[in-house]
Amino acid sequence: MNISKYIFALSLIFAFTVNADNVKPGEETGEFHYFNVTNPAGFVNAIDEHYASDCAKKWQSESGAEVVLMGVLGSVHTHFIYVGYKNNEMLEKGRSIVNSCPETAMLIKKLAKHSESTDYVSRLGEQSLEVGDWTKDKHFMKFDFNVELGKAPMYAKEWTKMMNSLEQTNSAGLITHRAGNGWMSHFVYVGGDSIDDLYTTFDANSQTEAFQTFAKNVASIRELRNVSLISPVKAYPATR
């Protein structure tokens, strides 16, 4: 995934197909907690135990927090935990509740025990633009990149224009980081039913005029940092 030739080719990306004029404002904001896990079974068990606690039930029922553990290939991190909220008001409410739980303090200790604690990274991001429903996809390509300061609206406009010119596939989205974004300001994800589906779609769309125009227009303001493959490991829904 980090082979220089492959990264160079993917530096043109973010052109997976969607329905025409189907890009819309995002409806989620959330936390991304990245880990280099050394004991996957122990790591998952720690999250399971927290999820079963009364405090976690209160947290999710009152804030609507949706939690998903994702596996990662092509990165220094092996997993990340996504905690999604409907909006920033619910995020603020949810953090207030969950951070007051004794079980949360215990969870943090256990996650550190089952991972390389020095590799932990957290980011706060909002889904600026989206297509489809990412919760229905099985695999994702995730493209981490930096956009020049003050140029994010231009990037979003070009991405929307390109995506709206292509045909349909599964979900896609543009995430803007609001905190913890020193290494990357944004990421784009695209979803699919299979890994082969993701690769085939990229190969086809990289030949389109819309793709080439997009790549040219954002080349001076966007620097690709990494490409990874993401697969859901386990979901911890708010509704039980």
Listing DSSP states for 131-174 in one string gives ES-GGG-SEEEEEEEEE-TT-HHHHHHHHHHHHHTS---S-EEE
Which fold does the domain 4-233 belong to in CATH?
Alpha-Beta Plaits (3.30.70)
The pLDDT tens digits for 12-25 are: 344 444 444 588 88
- Name the stretches of the chain with pLDDT < 70: 1-21, 167-169, 181-182
Which sequence spans correspond to the domains of the chain?
Answer: 4-233
The pLDDT tens digits for 156-178 are: 999 999 888 876 567 899 999 99
Name, in order, each residue with C-beta under 8 angstroms of 71's C-beta and a sequence gap of 6 or more: 78, 79, 230, 231, 232, 233
Amino acid, single-letter form, for residue 210: A
Determine if residue 180 is left, alpha or beta; phi over 0 gives left, psi from -120 to 50 gives alpha, anything else beta.
Answer: left
The pLDDT assigned to 16 comes to: 42
143: phi then psi, degrees, rounded to nearest 5: -115, 110
> pTM (2 decimals)?
0.87
Q: What would the two tokens of residue 187 be?
A: 């990421």
